[in-house]
Amino acid sequence: MAVLSSLYEIIVFSSSIKEYADKILDYIDIGKKWIHHRLYREHCIEYSKNIYIKDLRVLNRNLKDVIIVDNAVYAFASQLENGYPIILFYDNIKDQEMENLTSYLLSIKDMTDVRVECIKKFKLAQLVESDIGKYLKYYVANNSDLSDQSEELSKEPQKVDGEIPQVNANIKKSLDKFQNDMDNCFGKKN
């Protein structure tokens, strides 16, 4: 955080309420040296119960200079081209997400438009138009440093109905929930 805060303006944009988020952020950023601004649930657009969209225009920054890092892609659905999807942290000692994020941000710090690299790397706009299994297969194949938890996904998928990769039950359940959330955000109802 110290290195990144010297190169970037760090704004935490949380869908949590201020009181909860501030307790965590005060613990992470003792002395308030690294996080420049904080936004909370009140700054989000409530799409439906417990689904909050973070419209980056509220930052009043040029979007060519903005990257949003979030574990819920639907949270930045208004500006997918600015997104860096990150995996949730669950007290995993092998977790490399912060290191991966730091490397990525350092590699693009001099770009005139960060969206170009985000679009190229994550292909999130295509996620909206295709099934999530194909996206996850692409993401895993292009990120060999993912944790052991993704090993099952990186194996050659078996085709079901000619297209959709077969994944284990836990991953399928997560993907189905995520797809449902995405459908809800984009107004697609089954």
Tell me the pLDDT band of 61, cut-offs 50, 70 and 90.
very high
Residue 17 has pLDDT above 90, yes or no: yes
Say which range, 31-35, 61-65, 144-148, has the weakest mean pLDDT.
Answer: 144-148
Domain co-membership, 122 together with 177: yes
Does residue 108 surpass a pLDDT of 90? Answer: yes
Query: Average pLDDT for residues 159-186, to the nearest whole number?
Result: 49
Question: In angstroms, how far is CA 88 from the centroid of its own chain?
Answer: 9
The whole-number average pLDDT for the span 100-123 is 94
Does 129 lie in the same domain as 145? yes
Same domain flag for 131 and 157: yes
* Contact assessment for residue 108 and residue 114, using Cβ atoms and an 8 Å cutoff: yes
pLDDT tens-digit profile of 119-163?
Answer: 999 888 776 665 555 555 555 555 554 444 344 333 443 433 343
Q: Within this chain, do residues 143 and 178 fall inside the same structural domain, yes or no? A: yes
- In this predicted structure, what is the pLDDT of residue 13? 96
Please give the average per-residue pLDDT across 161-188, as a whole number.
50
Residue 183 confidence (pLDDT): 61
171 shares a domain with 141: yes
CB 124 within 8 A of CB 83: yes
Task: State what percent of residues in the chain have pLDDT above 70.
Answer: 66
Among residues 105, 103, 100, 94, the alpha carbon closest in space to that of 151 is found at: 94
Rounded Cα distance, 164 and 158, in Å: 8
pLDDT for res 123: 85
165 has pLDDT over 80: no
Residue 81 Rama label (left phi>0; alpha psi -120 to 50; beta): alpha
Overall domain count for the chain: 2
Q: Is residue 20 part of a domain?
A: yes
Q: Which domain holds residue 68?
A: 44-185
| Residues in Cβ contact with 45 at an 8 Å cutoff, skipping those fewer than 6 apart | 52, 53, 54, 55, 78
Average pLDDT of the residues of the chain: 78
